């Protein structure tokens, strides 16, 4: 695909969880919990409310096709604010400082007052029915030149447990939302910009890490297509593929539109009730349903099953729309006979609804209300196929294809949060924000000043232990030892089941400093750290794991070993050094420094030879 020629325009919104002590609008910790730890649950209904303009947002309306009952899990780390039972606390100043830092790093202009707004979200993921969001700064750019339009602070939504059940531990964790201008024209550019913004965010040292802590929403359109927002891309490496697949989807939908126009296709305005046709069907789904509606799509035959993205067809798009009414899915004649529906039944159906050869018939089976609602949704999506690409919010599926969530939200979606006072951003506050070093700059510095190789320097700079690394090196620890221990040893210990989270940076740095000064053998570092993870204090851990050998003891040990191998030494001369080193190390590993052992062994050997 020639993306430039197709007129690809893409922008991204990056949502990054902040590692603050408290949530954005209450004083609960930002801790994620296991569902089994919940202390209780409650349930609510949400409804679309009119904006002050008297309109109901189109995205909100779509979510309200059926009255949904949402269940919420509570924890001993959540409170009445998450339950929507208490007004919000003032905006968390720590979170605001981090957002301002990010804004300053990208050369943005802060707003004079931070005003919190409510953004309608009635899919159940917010107990209140809205997400609080606040614009913090405008107009910046990142290295490489991509423009940043806005930085906002938002509250994280509740985590879906399953179906309409949500867990309140995540609700209210502060998020920084960075929105770029729609300046990117290739999938690779989108990925690169996302990578750079991720790096900038991590450079603050104040963001959460791990799966789900950063999410990218991608806005994409092509010249004749439409703006589509793809939500929740969690893996950076998939971004280019998502862009490629969405571009393909829009191209293919335009192709289908052209073909429909050639066929003079249309959508029959009324669904037909066909319940009685399937009274004796072998299809369990149709048999179970007490109401079956059929929609006739003139000229759609064969197009419903046409692939528009890997694993996605026009039929899947219609099924997504229908599911908003609470039905499980749809049947259409492009895929029938199948699922227990016979060729005879299809023929009778076509005859009954007056569908010709080139037409497609879609079936929805459910209760009467739901089936009619779903049929209307199918007709709506079919009509949109005649126009081309609908503006939609979509969610990413595995591998990078997407499914329909709801229409793009309209302007009726945002209104002021009246329960939170505006927060001024004074010139003093803005001026007092210190800029952290960019991780990319840090990595370059590690190469230039410390002599680390490029790959290791990057690895250290990007890791959570970058600060500990720098402190250790400042304290005289050799960079390679510090890097190897902080990145390698800790990970290996963790893999062996050692609870390395019990170690704070100070403890690790103390171990490294002792090793560097020679009072602890480097070989004993893993053992000592492991003992400390088990609760031992550093001196006890060293005594227990690596009782240091004095030089005299070491010499005695070496002489002892050499005396029992006199024949071997006579035979090999100094060539025995290597093999003997192994024997000595077996006894002395971790109890003395390897270099010292090697020197003493060489000296003793020379004397014997």
Partner 1 sequence: MEQNPDLPELAILSTGGTIASRIDYRTGAVTSQFDADDILRAIPRLGEIAQFRAHQIASILSENMTPSLWIDLVRSIYTEIRNGAKGVIVTHGTDTMSFTASAVSFMLETPVPVIFVGSQRSADRPSSDNVMNALCSASAALSDLGEVAVVMHASTNDDRCAVHRATKVRKMHTSRRDAFASIGMLPLGYVDYPSLEVSLGDDAVRRGGTEVALHDTIEEKVGLVTFYPGMPADVLSRFEGCRGLVIAGTGLGHVSTACIGALRDLIDGGCHVVMTSQCLHGRVCDRVYDTGRDLLALGVIEGEDMLPEVALVKLMWVLGQHDDAGEVRRLMRTNLRGEIRRCSCNGF
Q: Which residues bind partner 1 (CB under 8 A)?
A: 42-50, 52, 60, 67, 69, 80, 83-87, 118, 120, 122, 127-130, 415-416, 418
From the list 151, 131, 152, the residue with the least C-alpha distance to 141 is 151
Tokens of 212: 């789900």
Tokens of 462: 């990007």
- In whole angstroms, the minimum distance from the beta carbon of 144 to partner 1 comes to 40
- In whole angstroms, the minimum distance from the beta carbon of 64 to partner 1 comes to 9
Instruction: Choose between 61 and 572: whose C-beta lies nearer to partner 1.
Output: 61
- In whole angstroms, the minimum distance from the beta carbon of 201 to partner 1 comes to 31
Angle subtended by helix axes 505-517 and 525-533, to nearest 10: 150
- In whole angstroms, the minimum distance from the beta carbon of 424 to partner 1 comes to 19
Q: In angstroms, rounded to a whole number, what is the distance separating the alpha carbons of residues 549 and 81?
A: 60
Q: In angstroms, rounded to a whole number, what is the distance separating the alpha carbons of residues 242 and 231?
A: 11
- In whole angstroms, the minimum distance from the beta carbon of 230 to partner 1 comes to 24
For residues 177 and 152, the answer to whether their CB atoms sit within 8 Å is yes
Q: In angstroms, rounded to a whole number, what is the distance separating the alpha carbons of residues 385 and 538?
A: 69
Instruction: Choose between 126 and 186: whose C-beta lies nearer to partner 1.
Output: 126
- In whole angstroms, the minimum distance from the beta carbon of 155 to partner 1 comes to 14
For residues 84 and 155, the answer to whether their CB atoms sit within 8 Å is no
In SS3 terms, 352-367 reads as HHCCCCCCEEEEEEEC
What phi and psi, each to the nearest 5 degrees, are found at residue 205? 70, 10
Q: In angstroms, rounded to a whole number, what is the distance separating the alpha carbons of residues 315 and 181?
A: 33
Instruction: Choose between 73 and 130: whose C-beta lies nearer to partner 1.
Output: 130
Instruction: Choose between 46 and 292: whose C-beta lies nearer to partner 1.
Output: 46
Instruction: Choose between 76 and 571: whose C-beta lies nearer to partner 1.
Output: 76
Instruction: Choose between 352 and 415: whose C-beta lies nearer to partner 1.
Output: 415
Instruction: Choose between 291 and 415: whose C-beta lies nearer to partner 1.
Output: 415
Q: In angstroms, rounded to a whole number, what is the distance separating the alpha carbons of residues 349 and 358?
A: 14
425, 511, 548, 562 from 519: Cα distances, Å? 52, 10, 8, 26
- In whole angstroms, the minimum distance from the beta carbon of 131 to partner 1 comes to 11
- In whole angstroms, the minimum distance from the beta carbon of 42 to partner 1 comes to 5
- In whole angstroms, the minimum distance from the beta carbon of 86 to partner 1 comes to 5
Instruction: Choose between 44 and 478: whose C-beta lies nearer to partner 1.
Output: 44
Instruction: Choose between 89 and 193: whose C-beta lies nearer to partner 1.
Output: 89
Residue with tokens 């939200």: 409
Q: What angle (nearest 5°) sits at the alpha carbon of residue 149, between those of residues 235 and 214? A: 20
Q: Cα Rg for the chain, rounded, in angstroms?
A: 32
88, 176, 237, 261, 293 from 414: Cα distances, Å? 18, 18, 32, 38, 37
């Amino acid at each position: 695909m020639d993306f430039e020629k197709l007129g690809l325009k893409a922008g991204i919104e990056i949502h990054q969880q902040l590692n603050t002590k408290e949530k954005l609008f209450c004083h609960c910790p930002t801790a994620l919990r296991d569902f089994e730890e919940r202390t209780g649950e409650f349930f609510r209904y949400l409804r679309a409310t009119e904006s002050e303009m008297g309109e109901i947002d189109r995205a909100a309306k779509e979510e309200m096709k059926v009255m949904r009952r949402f269940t919420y899990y509570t924890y001993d780390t959540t409170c009445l604010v998450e339950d929507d039972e208490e007004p919000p606390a003032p905006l968390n100043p720590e979170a605001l400082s981090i957002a301002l830092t990010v804004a300053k790093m990208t050369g943005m202009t802060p707003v004079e007052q931070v005003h919190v707004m409510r953004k309608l979200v009635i899919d159940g993921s917010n107990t209140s029915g809205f997400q609080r969001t606040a614009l913090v700064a405008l107009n910046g750019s990142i290295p490489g030149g991509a423009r940043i339009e806005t930085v906002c602070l938002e509250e994280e939504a509740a985590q879906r447990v399953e179906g309409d059940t949500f867990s309140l531990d995540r609700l209210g964790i502060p998020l920084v939302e960075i929105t770029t201008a729609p300046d990117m024209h290739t999938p690779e550019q989108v990925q690169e910009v996302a990578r750079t913004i991720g790096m900038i965010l991590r450079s603050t040292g104040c963001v959460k890490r791990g799966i789900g802590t950063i999410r990218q929403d991608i806005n994409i359109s092509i010249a004749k297509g439409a703006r589509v927002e793809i939500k929740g891309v969690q893996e950076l490496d998939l971004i280019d593929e998502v862009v490629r697949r969405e571009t393909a989807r829009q191209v293919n939908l335009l192709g289908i539109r052209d073909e429909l126009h050639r066929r003079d296709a249309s959508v029959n305005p009324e669904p037909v009730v066909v319940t009685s046709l399937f009274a004796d069907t072998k299809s369990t789904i149709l048999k179970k349903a007490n109401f079956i509606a059929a929609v006739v799509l003139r000229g759609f035959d064969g197009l419903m099953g046409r692939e528009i993205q890997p694993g996605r067809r026009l039929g899947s798009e219609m099924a997504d729309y229908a599911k908003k009414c609470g039905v499980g899915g749809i049947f259409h004649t492009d895929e029938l006979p199948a699922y227990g529906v016979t060729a005879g039944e299809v023929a009778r159906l076509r005859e009954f609804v007056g569908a010709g050869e080139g037409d497609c018939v879609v079936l929805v089976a459910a209760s009467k209300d739901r089936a009619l609602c779903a049929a209307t949704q199918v007709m709506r999506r079919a009509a949109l196929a005649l126009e081309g690409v609908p503006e939609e919010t979509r969610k990413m599926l595995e591998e990078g294809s997407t499914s329909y969530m709801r229409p793009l939200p309209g302007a009726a979606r945002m209104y002021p949060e009246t329960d939170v006072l505006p927060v001024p951003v004074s010139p003093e506050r803005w001026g007092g924000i210190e800029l952290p070093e960019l991780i990319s700059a840090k990595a370059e510095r590690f190469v230039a000043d410390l002599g680390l190789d490029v790959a290791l320097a990057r690895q250290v700079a990007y890791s959570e232990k970058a600060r500990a690394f720098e402190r250790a090196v400042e304290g005289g620890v050799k960079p390679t030892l510090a890097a190897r221990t902080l990145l390698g040893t800790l990970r290996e210990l963790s893999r062996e089941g050692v609870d390395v989270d019990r170690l704070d940076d100070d403890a690790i740095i103390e171990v490294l400093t002792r090793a560097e000064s020679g009072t602890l053998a480097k070989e004993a570092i893993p053992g000592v750290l492991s003992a400390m993870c088990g609760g031992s204090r550093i001196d006890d851990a060293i005594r227990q794991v690596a009782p240091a050998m004095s030089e005299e003891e070491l010499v005695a040990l070496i002489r002892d070993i050499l005396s029992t191998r006199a024949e071997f030494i006579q035979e090999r001369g100094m060539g025995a050094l290597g093999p003997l080193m192994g024997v000595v190390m077996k006894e002395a590993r971790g109890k003395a420094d390897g270099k010292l052992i090697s020197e003493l062994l060489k000296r003793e050997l020379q004397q014997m030879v």
